[in-house]
Amino acid sequence: DTSSIVLSNPLLAPSIAKHISACQTHEGGFGAEPHNEAHGGYTFCALASLRILNAVEEIDVDNLRGWLARRQMGYEGGFCGRTNKLVDGCYSFWQGGAMAVLDEWDRGATEMKGGGSEMIEGEREKKEEEYEEELDEEEEWERSEISFDEIMLQRYILLCAQDVNGGLRDKPSKPRDFYHTCYNLSGLSVAQHSSRLWLADDIANESGDDSCLNRIFGDVTVNIVGRTDPVLNIRVERVEVMLSQHF
């Protein structure tokens, strides 16, 4: 009975997904409310919420994908937050993370459990085996590749957004701060881990050009960061602990 479910958890009310969907603009992204301009931060929050609610199919996915793709700048490699705006390091996550969430949902390669997007380990291994059996190497790469240029994004974060005195920033000439440090690093994790997994042995062997791994800009042993869940933006091992204790 839907009504009893909603009473036990009001966040599952269908009206929530309906309101979020109404915030999608003609461009494809999401505004703070209906008829507002599409913005990267609101777009990520809207998409991640719909992913948690298992209601992504209620929006125009193709239009959203096109809007996200157009936010990565061809020269700088980073993302801007709105149409005709400059690149800003924080959108490495708001836009790059949204693309990762959308790719993950589109591939159907993970299973929602509770509030996270991590697949149950046994199920993940089973699906990976199925992919290996069904797809040759070229098809597998095309299926697993993230829908933005991850090397260009990593390059922008590491060479342009990184301050020589530590911390990260919006862009060169801007000061470093905790906010931009957080979301630049979050975007870096998405670019390095979202479509293919890096394991400790791979890093130790510096196997950055292995066809079964994400591409890493620069020295793998120095530049790689921890893997995060793109929906929740926290380390995957924390998500696993949460799910094991509460769901």
Residues 182-214 as b or e (16 or more Cβ within 10 Å = b): ebbbbbbbbbbbbbbebeeebeeeebbeeeebb
Banded model confidence at residue 121, pLDDT cuts 50, 70, 90:
very low
Which pair of tokens denotes residue 80?
A: 């801007």
Using the predicted structure, report yes or no on whether residue 145 has a pLDDT greater than 70.
Answer: no
Residues 156-173 as b or e (16 or more Cβ within 10 Å = b): bbbebbbeeeeebbbeee
* Residue 202 confidence (pLDDT): 52
Using the predicted structure, report yes or no on whether residue 6 has a pLDDT greater than 90.
Answer: no
Mean pLDDT of 52-66: 95
Banded model confidence at residue 137, pLDDT cuts 50, 70, 90:
very low
Active site amino acids: 39, 82, 85, 88, 90-91, 170, 177, 180
Q: Are 188 and 92 in contact (CB under 8 A)?
A: yes
* Residue 125 confidence (pLDDT): 52
- C-alpha to C-alpha distance for 237 and 188, rounded to whole angstroms: 18
Any idea what the Cα angle at residue 126 is, between residues 122 and 127, rounded to 5°?
120
The neighbour count for residue 93, using CB atoms within 10 Å, is 28
